[in-house]
A and B are shown apart, each in its own frame.
Chain A
Amino acid sequence: MTFFILKRLGLAILVSLAVSAIAFFLLRISGDIAIAIAGEGARDIDIAAARQLHGLDRPLIVQYWVWLLQIFNGDFGQSIFFKSDVLSLVWAKLPVTLLLGVLSLAFALVISIPLGILAAVFANSWIDRLALSVAVVGQALPNFFFALVLIVLFSITLRWLPVSGSATWAHYIMPVIALGYYVAPAFMRLVRAGMIDVLSADYIRTARAKGLPAHIVIFKHALRNAVMPVVALTAVQLGYLLGGSVVIETIFALDGLGFLAYQSITHKDFPVIQAVVMLLSVLYVLLTLLGDIANAWLNPRLRIS
């Protein structure tokens, strides 16, 4: 198990480094940072000064190396637009995104696991088809559109919920539904497939033959085995939810990392974009690593192979 963890950890570090390099070089290709720093109406002399001051006149590989060293020292630089320390800016926005991600994941699990169980227990019935329809709608609807539908229904027509902001818990309800619903189908299909598989196993037949009530067979014996793959997927989907919150945070003006990323892209605020991309990708890599470890812990065949 230790060797497995070390191997995966090494891989995670390499992936993070590769992501950091790709993010760095892609952003450098997308435009001249010196012009962005010098600002609107800057003269050539101002742009040249900005280029020299920020070391942008050095070879790209040197710039990348310096940036990497600074990151290891906890220095993500200064925001060009907000004129403040990038790290403190990102830290201040992180709680909102984490809260949104965790709540969306919880919402996805709360609707997908019961639906998956029902679909498996009543396979090929109208219940199964209904659950399938819920999944198809969830995957087919772009989340920005679904978000607008929610706003029209709950804010404009019924006036139950506030449209945007992050001041109260009520502000999180629609973003959580919009974001969580999008990832729920994947969980539902996995639970359904796992349950169908498990429900046809010999030990379930034995449990039923012993006369155990249906809910004990399903929840105590079948579900425990069927949800194992969900554990790994949960970690990966949480990473996806954190990274995928840019659109939802922008629509609902939730003051999190996604909103910050949108503002930074709009204003060509390269240091912030780099920090957000780096942070979200490291979080994603870490969560995938945790998912792999959890899976290996739950399933010995994986770590042996």
Chain B
Amino acid sequence: MKKFIFGLAAAVTLAAFNIGGAFAGKPDNSIRFAYDQAPESVDPYFNNVRIGVIIGQHVWDTLIYRNPETGEYKGELASAWQQVDDRTIEFDLQHGIKFHNGEEFDADDVVYTLNYVADPKHGVTTQQNVAWIEKAEKIDKYKVRLTTKEVFPAAIEYLSGPVVIHPNEYYEKVGPEGMNAKPVGTGPFRVTEYDVGKSITLEKNPDYFADSPKKQGPIEKIVIRFIPDRQTQMAEVLSDGVDFIMYVPKDQAEQLEAVPNLQVVSGETMRIAFMQMNSQENTPSKALKDERVRKAIIYAIDRETMVKEIVGAGSRVLNTICFPKQFGCTDEGAPGYEYNPDKAKALLAEAGYANGLELDLVAYRERNQTEAIIGYLKAVGINANLQFLQYAAMRDLIRSNKAMLTHQTWGSFSVNDVSAATPVYFGYEKDDISRDSEVRDLLKKGDTTMLPEDRKAAYHDALKLIAEHAYAVPLYSLPVYYVATADLNFKAYPDEMPRFWEMTWK
């Protein structure tokens, strides 16, 4: 007990007089970044939050790199690759690359990582990112063969995003827990300090390979602090406590535009907003089984005005449930539903709801947008009762078939392919609450066909069907507002990934 009290007193004293706070920024060529959420694990395979993706892309590398501007694929850890048949790809690997702990990168690392994450017993958090891998085999020290479970044309896209490569010897020894405690990758930055739930410090990897398409810039250090309160984050950036924050609400970002030492940058992201309408057989709202009611809901919402007034610059109205720049996403041939409250009322009356209708609406973010939607619905006689919940609670409601209307968003894990978006909500997955088998089959065909034109055709037909039957309300793409010190040079990309390695100070 005495020992405990002594230890506690010592810790309290240290906490009080630790004057070693990090004062950084432009003078020492570092960037202080505040984010609202800590990742559950730094290991990219064991978290599903954006900050995990950001850290992942800085600390680790992938076999392939996708240029965020042109969409062109280049080798990263792989120097070349070849599609051997519909389910097999062979990779030639780069030579002379070292992990942060000195371990040499070769085929063993790729084979071990891919086989480890593909095994469901290891419980990778985002199964969708790895469930398509059947196995990886070593051909020689710098050559690997990857086999997919079925035909999976989006494999290259996944291999250029969430599928990072771990060092086999280290990972085998320490596992995901050890990797979280002391992360080791090949990336342009290495983790030098990690205080769980509080902060993480990344420092430039001095041995980073020169051939990497992620060109290492001059930034020496990135200090990421987890500050949950948005107002505190804004106060930090205003008082020069941090240099960079993201996901600032539109109204607050607009106020910050007037501050001379700050810059506000907004850009479209791959995150789309939409509403699901539960029309499956045992839906808790019989009204939603009626296509006229679903169409009335779409006609009732003025999406153009919402984008202009509430959502913000960089956003656009969508007509189908996918991000327009994703491979296979199109609204060609899909009916557009303009804002037309009279038509909405007429359709409701035709469906037998001339005196109005009561529905539950479940939502989890951008509450102001949900409330605007509720206002539009009210104007045509639909009373939507809002249930605003944490994401997990909302998902439980949806998956247990207790949700009627949902206000959803989906970021596709930054995967630039429709297979990472539409099938999640219309492919008979757990979140599919419309369940049309024709749509499911078309999506499946798109997901598992090799020829790009055939894939596009299948997705086109599926997206058109979803729009024709009004299974969901496509709303808009969501923009992200970044606020940064005026002296920082950076660019916003649709994948919501701040690329610190290419940032510079003016």
Contacts and interface: CB of A to CB of B under 8 A. Distances in A.
A, B assembled together: yes
Contacts of A39: 48, 123, 125
B47 to A, nearest CB: 9
A279 interface: no
Interface in A218-274: 250-253, 255, 259-260, 262-263, 266-268
B196 A169 contact: no
A56 B46 CA distance: 23
Interface string B379-392: 00000000000101
Contacts, number: 123
Contacts of A166: 15
A81 B417 CA distance: 30
A36 B232 contact: no
Interface string B19-33: 111100000000000
A16 interface: no
Given A31-B396, A35-B392, A163-B232, A168 B125 contact: no
Interface in B20-70: 20-22, 37-38, 40-41, 46, 48
A94 B294 CA distance: 53
Interface stretch (B88-96, B236-244, B327-335): B236-244
Nearest to B125: A39
A125 B226 CA distance: 49
B352 interface: no
A197 interface: no
A156 interface: yes
Chain B CB count within 10 A is highest, among A31, A39, A250, A260, for A39
A98 B8 contact: yes
B228 A253 contact: yes
A169 B125 CA distance: 39
Contact of A263 (B19, B20, B38, B239): B38
B227 A253 contact: yes
Contacts of B392: 31, 35-36, 40, 268
Contacts of A252: 232
A96 interface: yes
Interface in A129-165: 148, 151-152, 155-156, 159, 162-165
A260 B197 contact: yes
Given A46-B123, A163-B236, A263-B197, A168 B231 contact: no
B198 A81 contact: no
A206 interface: no
Contacts of B241: 155, 162-164
Contact of A250 (B37, B41, B180, B228): B228
Contacts of A4: none
Interface size class of A (residues with CB under 8 A): 35 or more
A215 interface: no
A304 interface: no
Interface size class of B (residues with CB under 8 A): 35 or more
Contacts of B396: 31-32, 35
B228 A262 contact: yes
B126 interface: yes
Contacts of A99: 12, 15-16
A266 B390 contact: yes
A250 B393 CA distance: 22
B127 interface: yes
Nearest to A265: B390
B128 interface: yes
A88 B437 CA distance: 50
A247 to B, nearest CB: 9
A210 interface: no
B237 to A, nearest CB: 9
Contacts of A155: 235, 238-239, 241
Interface string B192-204: 0001111000000
Contacts of B11: 95
Interface string B109-143: 00000000000000101111000000000000000
A255 B195 contact: yes
B455 interface: no
B239 A156 contact: yes
A122 interface: no
A167 B16 CA distance: 8
Contacts of B502: none
B126 to A, nearest CB: 6
Given A95-B15, A151-B235, 12 more contacts: A31-B393, A39-B125, A81-B40, A83-B180, A94-B8, A95-B8, A159-B239, A163-B239, A164-B241, A168-B19, A251-B232, A253-B198
Interface of B: 8, 11-12, 14-22, 37-38, 40-41, 46, 48, 123, 125-128, 176-177, 180, 195-198, 225-229, 231-232, 235-236, 238-241, 390, 392-393, 395-396
13 contacts: A40-B125, A40-B392, A81-B40, A99-B15, A163-B232, A163-B239, A167-B20, A168-B17, A251-B232, A252-B232, A253-B229, A263-B197, A266-B390
Interface of A: 31-32, 35-36, 39-41, 43, 46, 81-84, 89, 94-96, 98-99, 148, 151-152, 155-156, 159, 162-169, 171-172, 250-253, 255, 259-260, 262-263, 266-268
Question: When A and B form their complex, which 8 residue pairs have the shortest distance between CB atoms, in order from nearest?
Answer: A167-B21, A95-B11, A253-B227, A155-B239, A95-B12, A255-B198, A163-B235, A151-B235
